[in-house]
Amino acid sequence: MRGRTRVSVVGLGYVGLSTAACLAEKFDVTGIDVDERKVEQIGRGVAPFSERSLTPLLKRQVRNGSLKCTTGYEGVGDSEFVFVTVGTPSDSSGRIDLSHVRAAAHSVGDAISGARRRRIDVLLKSTVIPGTARRLVKRVIEERSGRACGEGFGLCSNPEFLREGSAIEDTMRPSRIVIGRFDTSSGRRALSLYKKFYGEGMMPPVVETTPEMAELIKYASNAFLAMKVSFINTVARICEKIPQGHVDSVARGIGLDNRIGTRFMEAGPGFGGSCFPKDIKALIRFAQDIGVDASLLEATLKVNETQPEHILSTADSMLRGLNGRKVAILGLSFKPDTDDVRESRSMMLIEKLIQRGAKVAVYDPVAMERARSEIGSNADFTQNVEECLEDADLAIVMTSWDEFRGIREGDFVNLMKTPRVIDARRIYDPSRFVATDFAAVGVGPRATARTGNSYSISSGGGAINTGDSCEVPMSDGKFPVTSGQRMITGAVVKDDERYVVTDYSLPDGLTLSTTELKPNKATRGHSHPTPEFYIFFDECNLTLGSEARAVKVGDIVHVGPNEFHKVEAAGRPCRFVSLFWGERASVQAIYADHR
């Protein structure tokens, strides 16, 4: 393909490979990476990570020869343009680690020194703190190549804004192009390349500025987005304390003010990925180093660091202790449509759960392999959602993969030991979760009935008194259980011929425990010093004192203090919930509200 512009891309990670594959649509591209395995894999047309639309593009470009990959820098000397897209991780202090940028600049400089071309333009896409292109990249290339910037080579800071998961789309249709030019000709040539690629009429908005401002634009952009996430997560925590609170309605309510905007206002487990956390840390350190107060950025980071802890404490209170409990984690990647688990909040939560003695089962549609190399054998890597949920005490949805949106409440109920769900991404409608102990990030407790309301158990029935056993009404209903001034609420619903109690909002001192008996098993026949209520979801046999009887679905049975009892699952599983106070109080009554 003679006459095509020759371009090199140094560093074939998420940014470099996506950029190279897109540029190869119009240009002859040489991809360069120091990782031999990666280069060999890409050379076969196989993407080393999961990115939507990348694989077909890559296969085509490799097959038709417009994208070639190598570990050597020879291609740089023949290129008109060289993109530098190597990684810029954090060092242990949070400062940016520029060793890859330095090494790449070194190699690019060496390649330019021996080049026949009189001019090669370098575009620095890696995210770097202001001053890096000038003090490091320009200096090193000048030293190694023996050429002057603006004459023998051009240099622009040209930050990248693509998002993993939509990297190809973002590269093909970027929101803007930022060019931080060292000299007019470098800026003009960079712009001409982009015009050639996108076409004059299709050019995205362009911001031309100094290299330092271009570098800062990238950090400021990520910091602002991260701040939005931490802001809405703070609002989410407030919503969780307010009955019927829902952060999404607040996000929409404020976002419709176009000074605020509705995008990037999704509360959840916090931001992760390879960019936001490290970029905010680097910007904080940079601000501190030049004597600028970075407290707004520090708060952004602090909210984010504590968000997995917040989910952990919700899990802890739902399970009343994590030790020995099986927790199913659905989603490992930091967001859907990518297998990137770097700084994923899910990984952080898993680590904390394991530290607290929980047994963790994990499942992700694409990120299992990458996660395995980080968590190793500390978690149970399962094949699918069903296996992950099997016998779990709690499920936590950490990534909003479409596959998880399809899980229905019945699946949680049928597969789990006890159906408890934390929806950290609010992919489920809480009102559909009536048979499950359900919590969601940013969602407050359901409305509670007021003490003193009168409730009936059916259209013709009256209140249930202590010790009554009754049939629960057929339709959805709410019931409060009161003890003095204290009250809990719950829903009793008919679900496939089974009545279940949900939406527990238990005051201090009241315990609710769910028992599931396997067929033909029985409780051991123990007794408690305080009265209890049993609410049955399945038919089974009950012995109370010396009296034995069959219990129907929906029966509510009062068990007096120290009253010997035995529940027996006759031929089929039996589940029941028991409610009891500590030693100080006793349950006064259970009412059912027929709606």
Ligand X SMILES: NC(=O)c1ccc[n+]([C@@H]2O[C@H](COP(=O)([O-])OP(=O)(O)OC[C@H]3O[C@@H](n4cnc5c(N)ncnc54)[C@H](O)[C@@H]3O)[C@@H](O)[C@H]2O)c1
Element spanning 5, H or E: none
275 among known catalytic residues: yes
**How far is C-alpha 255 from the chain's CA centre?**
22
Give me the least distance between CB of 152 and ligand X, in Å please.
21
Which CB, 32 or 327, lies closer to ligand X?
32
The stretch near ligand X (CB under 6 A) out of 26-34, 305-313, 319-327, 476-484 is 26-34
Burial group, residue 329, by CB count within 10 angstroms (0-12, 13-18, 19+):
buried
Give me the least distance between CB of 124 and ligand X, in Å please.
9
Restricted to residues 108-127, the positions that interact with ligand X (CB under 6 A) are: 125-127
How many other CB atoms are there within 10 angstroms of residue 323's CB atom? 10
Q: Which of 68, 100, 285, 359 binds ligand X (CB under 6 A)?
A: 100
* C-alpha distance from residue 578 to each of 88, 481, 501, 515 (Å): 55, 12, 10, 8
Does 19 help bind ligand X (rule: CB under 6 A)?
no
140 within 8 A of 30, measured Cβ to Cβ: no
Restricted to residues 391-410, the positions that interact with ligand X (CB under 6 A) are: none
Give me the least distance between CB of 411 and ligand X, in Å please.
33
Q: Which of 10, 24, 133, 251 binds ligand X (CB under 6 A)?
A: 10
Element spanning 546, H or E: none
Burial group, residue 240, by CB count within 10 angstroms (0-12, 13-18, 19+):
buried
| Locus of tokens 């020194």 | 113
Give me the least distance between CB of 25 and ligand X, in Å please.
19
Q: Which two tokens stand for residue 218?
A: 């990238």
200 within 8 A of 144, measured Cβ to Cβ: no
DSSP string spanning 373-422? HHHGGGSEE-SSHHHHHTT-SEEEE-S--HHHHT--HHHHHHHSSS-EEE
Q: Which of 121, 142, 160, 532 binds ligand X (CB under 6 A)?
A: 160
Which CB, 76 or 441, lies closer to ligand X?
76
DSSP string spanning 511-536? EEEEEEEPTT-B------SS-EEEEE
Taking the C-alpha atoms of residue 88 and residue 162, their distance in angstroms, rounded to an integer, is 16
Give me the least distance between CB of 49 and ligand X, in Å please.
7
Which CB, 339 or 593, lies closer to ligand X?
339
The stretch near ligand X (CB under 6 A) out of 5-13, 75-83, 378-386, 488-496 is 5-13
Of 156, 275, 388, 540, catalytic: 275
Closest residue to ligand X: CB criterion: 13
Q: Which of 8, 50, 66, 88 binds ligand X (CB under 6 A)?
A: 88
Site string for ligand X, 57-86 (x = CB under 6 A): ----------------------------xx
Rounded to the nearest 10 degrees, how much is the dihedral formed by the CA atoms of 244, 249, 250, 252?
A: 180
Does 14 help bind ligand X (rule: CB under 6 A)?
yes
Does 15 help bind ligand X (rule: CB under 6 A)?
yes
- 498 three-class SS: strand
Q: Which of 7, 8, 9, 11 binds ligand X (CB under 6 A)?
A: 11
Does 164 help bind ligand X (rule: CB under 6 A)?
yes
With CB under 6 A as the rule, give the number of residues binding ligand X. Answer: 28
Which CB, 171 or 469, lies closer to ligand X?
171
Give me the least distance between CB of 125 and ligand X, in Å please.
6
Taking the C-alpha atoms of residue 557 and residue 114, their distance in angstroms, rounded to an integer, is 89
Does 32 help bind ligand X (rule: CB under 6 A)?
yes
Residues that are catalytic: 275
Residues in contact with ligand X by the rule CB under 6 A? 10-16, 32-35, 38, 85-88, 100, 103-104, 107, 125-127, 160, 162, 164, 274-275
